[in-house]
Amino acid sequence: MPLFRTSTMATRTTTTRTTSIALGQSADESDAAFLFSDLVQAYFDCRRTKRNSRSALAFEQNLERNLIELNTALRAGAYQPGRSICFVVTHPKPREVWAAEFRDRIVHHLFYNHVSPSIEARFIADSCACIKGRGTLYAAQRLESKIRSITQNWQQPAHYLKLDLANFFVSIDKRILRKQLAAHISDPWWLSLAETILLHDPRQNYDLRCSPELLDLVPHHKRLTNQPEHLGLPIGNLSSQFFANVYLNDLDQFAKHHIGAKHYVRYVDDFILLHQSPQWLNAAHARIAEFLPATLGAQLNHKKTILQPVDRGVDFIGQVISPWRRTTRRRTINTGMHRLERLPSADLFEVGNSYFGLLRQASHSHKDRTALANLLRSRGQTINYDITKTYRRAA
């Protein structure tokens, strides 16, 4: 039975200290799968955004000893993942998040740093998310360029088919994913580590960091805790995001090389096909709906299937692409404004700048940034001349 512990994580501060770590290669690791310096680099990659977390601080208190012990366990084949943390986020909708402890995140980065370059080189250029340089802005710009291409700069009619996978992360079949990884990873040591990460079941030992009432907001069919052992990846780990791209690479290859979709973009489990003919798109829809359960054990979310002319506007990953303009989704803007109206003054600097950064990704954002700036000014914030950021208030 899973272990439950409801707790509250207090905010902590730390004084940065300089630690000297020997990066030289020792004689006994000349033929090893990785160097100790690779593990150190994985640690630095891991702590980049987690420096003040409780687990990161605990690990750093005895940094040299912890890295050496982790290095020894990995080389001896004795490494096993530790306890995870489960909590719920409510924006944009309630969902479970599973966070591995800091030690395990270092291993995820070590694995990703080594295997991702060769595997991601096999992905199509239209596969986005958790790939360096291919975030939401890349996906939106690439889709916009494809729309301009197929419509000859909005002069010719075209249609888009937008599809979404049902309950994606909790329905990933780890047995299928294991075979996919084996086809990509030839080194036995790295394949063994991939299987250790993949097949670890965080539900066997975890801390619940939210109230049971908040957990009940997550629909039962979207909870990892309600899935069979062979289904589901924990949302929140770097390894899960990478595994998801490996899993859906088969879909990308099928869409591009079997269906012949010249204009196709995927961001995680949301993907779009473009064509002049709606009949061609309907036929492609039928083939994908047949391919997914047969090959990946996945299902389309038919409630989110959309087939429309592109000149009505294409809503994709938070942006709306319409003739000659790309704007931020109105619901996102309204949610942000509503949040900033009620946010404590101490948080306005960070949250306000995050929304400015989001709005700047759109090609036409001046009106929205002006509305955001006016709201922040009404709450005592100062905005720069270009309406692209707010400043920290003097103490």
Measured distance CA(287)–CA(264) in Å, rounded? 15
Q: What's the average model confidence in pLDDT over 5-28?
A: 41
Min mean pLDDT across 88-102, 233-247, 353-367 is at: 88-102
> Quick check: 309 pLDDT over 80?
yes
Q: What is the pLDDT of residue 395?
A: 62
Q: pTM score, two decimals?
A: 0.87
66 — pLDDT class (breaks 50, 70, 90): very high
- Could you tell me how many residues make up the chain? 395
Measured distance CA(266)–CA(283) in Å, rounded? 19
Measured distance CA(8)–CA(95) in Å, rounded? 19
Q: What's the average model confidence in pLDDT over 363-390?
A: 96
The pLDDT tens digits for 89-131 are 887 788 999 989 999 999 999 999 999 999 999 999 999 998 9
Structure tokens at 176: 């299928």
The pLDDT tens digits for 244-293 are 999 999 999 999 999 999 999 999 999 999 999 999 999 999 999 999 99
Instruction: Report whether 311 contacts 320 (CB < 8 A).
Output: no
